[in-house]
Homo-oligomer: A and B are copies of this chain.
Amino acid sequence: MPRNRQNEGAILRKIADRFPSPQGPAFRRSIALGVGDDAALFRPKPRHQAILTCDWFLEGTHFLRAKHPPDAVGWKCLARAVSDVAAMGGTPCCFLLSLALPETHTGRWLELFLKGLHRASGKFQCALAGGDTTLQDEILINVTVVGEVPTGLAVPRSGAREGDLIYVSGTLGEAELGLQMLRRAKSFPSKRHPLLKKHLYPEPRLELGRWLARKKIATAMMDLSDGLSSDLAKLCAASGVGALLDQDHLPAVFVPRSFGRRVDESRQLALHGGDDYELLFTAPPGKLPSWPWKFKKLPVCPMGVITSGSQVVYFESGKPLILPPRGWDPFRKRG
Protein backbone atom coordinates (compact mmCIF):
# COMPACT_ATOMS: atom_id res chain seq x y z
CA MET A 1 0.00 0.00 0.00
CA PRO A 2 2.12 2.89 -1.26
CA ARG A 3 -0.07 5.55 0.34
CA ASN A 4 1.03 4.24 3.73
CA ARG A 5 4.70 4.03 2.82
CA GLN A 6 6.50 6.57 4.90
CA ASN A 7 10.08 6.93 5.93
CA GLU A 8 11.29 7.14 9.49
CA GLY A 9 11.32 10.94 9.43
CA ALA A 10 7.60 11.01 8.60
CA ILE A 11 6.81 8.67 11.52
CA LEU A 12 8.82 10.86 13.87
CA ARG A 13 6.99 13.96 12.61
CA LYS A 14 3.66 12.27 13.31
CA ILE A 15 4.82 11.56 16.87
CA ALA A 16 6.16 15.10 17.30
CA ASP A 17 2.87 16.58 16.02
CA ARG A 18 0.91 14.65 18.62
CA PHE A 19 3.41 15.42 21.39
CA PRO A 20 4.48 19.05 20.93
CA SER A 21 7.15 19.53 23.61
CA PRO A 22 7.41 20.60 26.32
CA GLN A 23 4.30 19.27 28.02
CA GLY A 24 3.35 19.48 31.66
CA PRO A 25 5.10 21.02 34.67
CA ALA A 26 7.30 17.96 35.36
CA PHE A 27 8.57 18.12 31.80
CA ARG A 28 9.47 21.79 31.95
CA ARG A 29 11.23 21.35 35.26
CA SER A 30 13.12 18.15 34.67
CA ILE A 31 13.67 17.53 30.98
CA ALA A 32 16.30 19.66 29.33
CA LEU A 33 16.30 18.02 25.92
CA GLY A 34 13.60 15.79 24.56
CA VAL A 35 12.56 14.11 21.32
CA GLY A 36 14.85 14.49 18.31
CA ASP A 37 18.34 14.25 19.79
CA ASP A 38 20.52 11.22 20.55
CA ALA A 39 19.16 11.13 24.09
CA ALA A 40 17.05 13.05 26.60
CA LEU A 41 18.32 14.87 29.69
CA PHE A 42 16.56 14.54 33.02
CA ARG A 43 17.19 15.55 36.62
CA PRO A 44 15.07 14.43 39.57
CA LYS A 45 13.95 17.12 42.06
CA PRO A 46 16.35 17.86 44.95
CA ARG A 47 16.29 15.13 47.59
CA HIS A 48 14.57 12.75 45.15
CA GLN A 49 15.73 9.63 43.32
CA ALA A 50 14.81 8.71 39.77
CA ILE A 51 12.71 5.56 39.27
CA LEU A 52 13.52 3.55 36.12
CA THR A 53 11.28 0.86 34.67
CA CYS A 54 10.53 -0.66 31.27
CA ASP A 55 7.80 -2.90 29.89
CA TRP A 56 7.19 -4.93 26.77
CA PHE A 57 3.82 -4.63 25.02
CA LEU A 58 3.87 -7.08 22.12
CA GLU A 59 1.26 -8.07 19.59
CA GLY A 60 0.14 -11.66 20.10
CA THR A 61 1.58 -11.82 23.64
CA HIS A 62 0.12 -8.74 25.34
CA PHE A 63 -2.55 -7.62 22.87
CA LEU A 64 -4.27 -8.77 19.69
CA ARG A 65 -4.08 -6.65 16.56
CA ALA A 66 -7.57 -7.68 15.45
CA LYS A 67 -9.26 -7.33 18.86
CA HIS A 68 -7.66 -4.39 20.66
CA PRO A 69 -8.50 -0.83 19.53
CA PRO A 70 -5.29 1.10 18.65
CA ASP A 71 -6.04 3.90 21.14
CA ALA A 72 -6.31 1.30 23.93
CA VAL A 73 -2.93 -0.13 22.87
CA GLY A 74 -1.51 3.40 23.16
CA TRP A 75 -3.08 4.01 26.59
CA LYS A 76 -2.21 0.63 28.06
CA CYS A 77 1.44 0.43 26.97
CA LEU A 78 2.11 3.57 29.04
CA ALA A 79 -0.29 2.74 31.90
CA ARG A 80 1.45 -0.62 32.52
CA ALA A 81 4.87 0.96 32.93
CA VAL A 82 3.52 3.87 34.99
CA SER A 83 1.94 1.28 37.29
CA ASP A 84 5.48 0.16 38.25
CA VAL A 85 6.20 3.72 39.35
CA ALA A 86 2.98 3.69 41.44
CA ALA A 87 4.17 0.42 43.00
CA MET A 88 7.34 2.16 44.25
CA GLY A 89 5.33 5.06 45.69
CA GLY A 90 6.65 7.46 43.05
CA THR A 91 5.45 10.08 40.58
CA PRO A 92 5.93 9.55 36.83
CA CYS A 93 7.87 12.25 34.94
CA CYS A 94 8.69 11.18 31.41
CA PHE A 95 8.87 8.17 29.10
CA LEU A 96 10.78 6.80 26.11
CA LEU A 97 8.74 5.09 23.39
CA SER A 98 10.27 2.27 21.33
CA LEU A 99 7.90 1.45 18.50
CA ALA A 100 8.26 -1.11 15.70
CA LEU A 101 5.46 -1.12 13.12
CA PRO A 102 4.49 -2.81 9.87
CA GLU A 103 4.38 -0.34 6.99
CA THR A 104 0.59 -0.82 6.80
CA HIS A 105 0.21 0.56 10.32
CA THR A 106 2.02 3.88 9.89
CA GLY A 107 -1.17 5.71 8.84
CA ARG A 108 -4.54 5.58 10.63
CA TRP A 109 -3.48 2.92 13.15
CA LEU A 110 -0.49 5.02 14.27
CA GLU A 111 -2.66 8.13 14.62
CA LEU A 112 -5.19 6.36 16.87
CA PHE A 113 -2.39 4.70 18.83
CA LEU A 114 -0.77 8.10 19.45
CA LYS A 115 -4.16 9.55 20.45
CA GLY A 116 -4.53 6.96 23.24
CA LEU A 117 -0.90 7.34 24.26
CA HIS A 118 -1.25 11.12 24.40
CA ARG A 119 -4.38 10.87 26.54
CA ALA A 120 -2.54 8.58 28.99
CA SER A 121 0.49 10.88 28.95
CA GLY A 122 -1.69 13.81 29.97
CA LYS A 123 -3.62 11.85 32.58
CA PHE A 124 -0.46 10.53 34.28
CA GLN A 125 1.51 13.78 33.74
CA CYS A 126 4.22 11.72 32.05
CA ALA A 127 5.82 13.44 29.05
CA LEU A 128 7.34 11.87 25.94
CA ALA A 129 11.11 12.46 26.13
CA GLY A 130 12.46 10.30 23.30
CA GLY A 131 12.52 6.82 21.83
CA ASP A 132 13.33 4.72 18.80
CA THR A 133 11.23 3.64 15.80
CA THR A 134 11.75 0.91 13.23
CA LEU A 135 9.94 -1.23 10.70
CA GLN A 136 8.86 -4.80 11.56
CA ASP A 137 6.18 -7.25 10.48
CA GLU A 138 4.62 -7.28 13.94
CA ILE A 139 3.65 -4.41 16.21
CA LEU A 140 6.27 -4.26 18.97
CA ILE A 141 6.21 -1.73 21.77
CA ASN A 142 8.59 -1.11 24.64
CA VAL A 143 8.07 1.75 27.07
CA THR A 144 10.62 3.06 29.57
CA VAL A 145 9.14 5.29 32.27
CA VAL A 146 11.21 7.56 34.48
CA GLY A 147 9.65 8.76 37.70
CA GLU A 148 10.83 10.24 40.96
CA VAL A 149 10.40 9.57 44.66
CA PRO A 150 11.76 11.31 47.77
CA THR A 151 15.10 9.68 48.63
CA GLY A 152 14.62 6.78 51.04
CA LEU A 153 10.83 6.56 50.67
CA ALA A 154 10.53 4.13 47.73
CA VAL A 155 8.70 0.97 48.79
CA PRO A 156 10.47 -2.23 47.63
CA ARG A 157 9.02 -5.72 47.36
CA SER A 158 11.37 -6.98 50.03
CA GLY A 159 10.16 -5.28 53.22
CA ALA A 160 7.26 -7.54 54.31
CA ARG A 161 7.63 -8.92 57.87
CA GLU A 162 5.84 -11.67 59.79
CA GLY A 163 2.56 -10.38 61.18
CA ASP A 164 2.11 -7.62 58.55
CA LEU A 165 -1.37 -7.49 57.06
CA ILE A 166 -1.73 -8.00 53.30
CA TYR A 167 -3.84 -5.42 51.46
CA VAL A 168 -5.00 -4.99 47.90
CA SER A 169 -6.71 -2.09 46.13
CA GLY A 170 -9.76 -2.42 43.87
CA THR A 171 -11.44 -5.61 42.73
CA LEU A 172 -9.43 -8.57 41.40
CA GLY A 173 -10.14 -10.49 38.20
CA GLU A 174 -11.97 -7.68 36.42
CA ALA A 175 -9.39 -7.18 33.68
CA GLU A 176 -9.20 -10.92 32.93
CA LEU A 177 -12.98 -11.10 32.68
CA GLY A 178 -12.89 -8.05 30.39
CA LEU A 179 -10.39 -9.87 28.16
CA GLN A 180 -12.65 -12.95 28.03
CA MET A 181 -15.54 -10.67 27.07
CA LEU A 182 -13.47 -9.16 24.26
CA ARG A 183 -12.29 -12.54 22.98
CA ARG A 184 -15.75 -14.07 22.76
CA ALA A 185 -17.54 -10.99 21.37
CA LYS A 186 -18.44 -11.26 17.69
CA SER A 187 -18.73 -7.50 17.26
CA PHE A 188 -16.76 -5.04 19.37
CA PRO A 189 -18.47 -4.60 22.79
CA SER A 190 -18.94 -1.09 24.24
CA LYS A 191 -15.66 0.34 25.53
CA ARG A 192 -17.67 1.89 28.37
CA HIS A 193 -18.49 -1.47 29.96
CA PRO A 194 -16.63 -1.32 33.32
CA LEU A 195 -14.97 -4.75 32.82
CA LEU A 196 -13.79 -3.89 29.35
CA LYS A 197 -12.64 -0.45 30.51
CA LYS A 198 -10.54 -2.08 33.22
CA HIS A 199 -8.93 -4.35 30.62
CA LEU A 200 -8.40 -1.71 27.92
CA TYR A 201 -7.69 1.44 29.92
CA PRO A 202 -6.22 0.45 33.31
CA GLU A 203 -5.59 3.24 35.82
CA PRO A 204 -2.33 2.96 37.76
CA ARG A 205 -2.95 3.59 41.46
CA LEU A 206 -0.56 6.54 41.68
CA GLU A 207 -2.29 8.46 44.49
CA LEU A 208 -2.61 5.46 46.79
CA GLY A 209 1.00 4.40 46.12
CA ARG A 210 2.33 7.88 46.89
CA TRP A 211 0.28 8.16 50.06
CA LEU A 212 1.45 4.77 51.37
CA ALA A 213 5.10 5.69 50.66
CA ARG A 214 5.07 9.24 52.07
CA LYS A 215 3.23 8.17 55.24
CA LYS A 216 5.72 5.27 55.56
CA ILE A 217 2.80 2.87 55.99
CA ALA A 218 3.60 0.13 53.44
CA THR A 219 6.47 -2.23 54.28
CA ALA A 220 6.40 -3.91 50.84
CA MET A 221 4.49 -3.06 47.67
CA MET A 222 4.10 -4.16 44.05
CA ASP A 223 1.53 -3.83 41.30
CA LEU A 224 -0.59 -6.80 40.22
CA SER A 225 0.23 -7.44 36.58
CA ASP A 226 0.55 -11.22 36.34
CA GLY A 227 -2.18 -12.18 38.82
CA LEU A 228 -2.35 -12.38 42.63
CA SER A 229 -1.10 -15.99 42.96
CA SER A 230 2.07 -15.26 40.96
CA ASP A 231 2.69 -11.74 42.22
CA LEU A 232 2.15 -12.47 45.93
CA ALA A 233 4.61 -15.37 45.57
CA LYS A 234 7.17 -12.90 44.16
CA LEU A 235 6.61 -10.43 47.00
CA CYS A 236 6.99 -13.25 49.56
CA ALA A 237 10.16 -14.57 47.88
CA ALA A 238 11.71 -11.07 47.80
CA SER A 239 10.87 -10.57 51.49
CA GLY A 240 11.80 -14.10 52.58
CA VAL A 241 8.37 -14.72 54.11
CA GLY A 242 5.16 -16.67 53.52
CA ALA A 243 1.52 -15.61 53.47
CA LEU A 244 -1.93 -16.76 54.59
CA LEU A 245 -4.91 -15.78 52.42
CA ASP A 246 -8.59 -16.37 53.15
CA GLN A 247 -11.02 -16.93 50.28
CA ASP A 248 -13.73 -15.04 52.13
CA HIS A 249 -11.66 -11.86 52.15
CA LEU A 250 -10.70 -11.87 48.48
CA PRO A 251 -12.21 -8.79 46.73
CA ALA A 252 -13.22 -10.91 43.74
CA VAL A 253 -14.94 -9.72 40.57
CA PHE A 254 -18.66 -10.39 40.21
CA VAL A 255 -19.19 -12.75 37.26
CA PRO A 256 -22.50 -11.97 35.49
CA ARG A 257 -24.88 -14.91 35.03
CA SER A 258 -24.70 -14.41 31.27
CA PHE A 259 -21.16 -15.85 31.41
CA GLY A 260 -22.77 -19.14 32.55
CA ARG A 261 -19.65 -20.34 34.37
CA ARG A 262 -18.98 -22.41 37.46
CA VAL A 263 -19.62 -20.84 40.88
CA ASP A 264 -15.90 -20.70 41.77
CA GLU A 265 -15.04 -18.81 38.55
CA SER A 266 -15.04 -15.48 40.40
CA ARG A 267 -12.36 -16.55 42.91
CA GLN A 268 -10.24 -18.24 40.25
CA LEU A 269 -10.25 -14.99 38.27
CA ALA A 270 -9.29 -13.04 41.41
CA LEU A 271 -6.46 -15.45 42.25
CA HIS A 272 -4.93 -15.97 38.83
CA GLY A 273 -6.27 -13.28 36.46
CA GLY A 274 -3.67 -10.83 35.15
CA ASP A 275 -3.59 -7.18 34.10
CA ASP A 276 -5.48 -5.66 37.05
CA TYR A 277 -2.72 -3.12 37.89
CA GLU A 278 -4.01 -2.84 41.44
CA LEU A 279 -1.58 -2.34 44.32
CA LEU A 280 -0.65 -5.27 46.55
CA PHE A 281 1.03 -4.12 49.77
CA THR A 282 1.77 -5.06 53.35
CA ALA A 283 1.53 -2.94 56.49
CA PRO A 284 2.11 -3.63 60.19
CA PRO A 285 -1.13 -4.28 62.12
CA GLY A 286 -2.68 -1.14 63.59
CA LYS A 287 -1.49 1.16 60.81
CA LEU A 288 -4.59 0.71 58.63
CA PRO A 289 -8.13 -0.59 59.22
CA SER A 290 -8.36 -4.39 59.43
CA TRP A 291 -11.65 -4.28 57.51
CA PRO A 292 -12.37 -3.13 53.93
CA TRP A 293 -12.01 0.67 53.65
CA LYS A 294 -11.70 3.31 50.95
CA PHE A 295 -8.89 5.60 49.85
CA LYS A 296 -10.54 8.46 47.90
CA LYS A 297 -13.33 6.18 46.58
CA LEU A 298 -10.88 3.33 45.80
CA PRO A 299 -11.71 0.21 47.86
CA VAL A 300 -8.78 -1.22 49.84
CA CYS A 301 -9.16 -4.65 51.34
CA PRO A 302 -7.16 -6.62 53.95
CA MET A 303 -7.09 -10.22 52.76
CA GLY A 304 -4.44 -12.06 54.74
CA VAL A 305 -1.34 -11.96 56.84
CA ILE A 306 2.41 -12.43 56.34
CA THR A 307 3.86 -15.55 58.00
CA SER A 308 7.34 -16.80 58.82
CA GLY A 309 6.95 -19.63 56.30
CA SER A 310 7.95 -19.57 52.66
CA GLN A 311 4.68 -20.49 50.96
CA VAL A 312 1.39 -18.85 50.15
CA VAL A 313 -1.31 -20.80 51.99
CA TYR A 314 -4.89 -20.25 50.91
CA PHE A 315 -7.90 -21.13 53.06
CA GLU A 316 -10.64 -22.57 50.89
CA SER A 317 -13.85 -23.49 52.76
CA GLY A 318 -11.77 -23.59 55.95
CA LYS A 319 -9.16 -25.99 54.51
CA PRO A 320 -5.57 -24.78 53.98
CA LEU A 321 -4.15 -25.33 50.46
CA ILE A 322 -0.79 -24.31 49.07
CA LEU A 323 -1.55 -21.74 46.37
CA PRO A 324 0.34 -22.50 43.16
CA PRO A 325 1.51 -19.46 41.15
CA ARG A 326 -0.84 -19.87 38.19
CA GLY A 327 -0.98 -16.27 36.97
CA TRP A 328 0.51 -15.04 33.72
CA ASP A 329 3.99 -16.32 32.87
CA PRO A 330 4.88 -16.10 29.19
CA PHE A 331 7.50 -18.83 29.66
CA ARG A 332 5.04 -21.35 31.02
CA LYS A 333 1.81 -22.68 29.57
CA ARG A 334 -1.13 -22.10 31.89
CA GLY A 335 -1.72 -24.91 34.40
Contacts and interface: CB of A to CB of B under 8 A. Distances in A.
A103 B331 CA distance: 7
A132 B50 CA distance: 18
Contacts of A87: 38-39
A52 B130 contact: yes
A207 interface: no
Interface in A185-217: none
Given A135-B331, A330-B134, A96 B238 contact: no
Given A56-B134, A61-B136, A100-B56, A41 B33 contact: no
A49 B61 contact: no
Given A134-B58, A135-B330, A144-B144, A43 B49 contact: yes
A181 interface: no
B39 A53 contact: yes
Total copies of this chain within the assembly = 2
A52 to B, nearest CB: 5
Contact of A51 (B39, B60, B106, B223): B39
Contacts of A132: 54-56, 142
Nearest to A31: B52
Interface residues of A, number: 69
Contact of A332 (B8, B40, B53, B96): B8
Nearest to A80: B132
B130 A96 contact: no
A79 interface: no
Contacts of A157: 36-38
A44 interface: yes
A175 interface: no
Interface in A122-137: 129-136
B52 A146 contact: yes
Contacts of A140: 56, 58, 140
Contacts of A238: 36-37
Contacts of A38: 53, 84, 87-88, 157, 222-223
A148 B332 CA distance: 38
Contacts of A103: 331
Contacts of A330: 8, 133-135
24 contacts: A7-B332, A8-B331, A37-B222, A38-B53, A38-B84, A38-B157, A39-B51, A39-B52, A41-B49, A42-B52, A44-B50, A52-B146, A53-B96, A54-B54, A54-B98, A54-B132, A55-B132, A58-B100, A60-B136, A61-B135, A61-B136, A134-B330, A134-B331, A135-B331
Interface of A: 5-11, 32-33, 36-44, 48-56, 58, 60-62, 84-85, 87-88, 90, 94, 96, 98, 100, 103, 106, 129-136, 138, 140, 142, 144, 146-147, 149, 151, 154, 156-158, 222-223, 238, 329-332
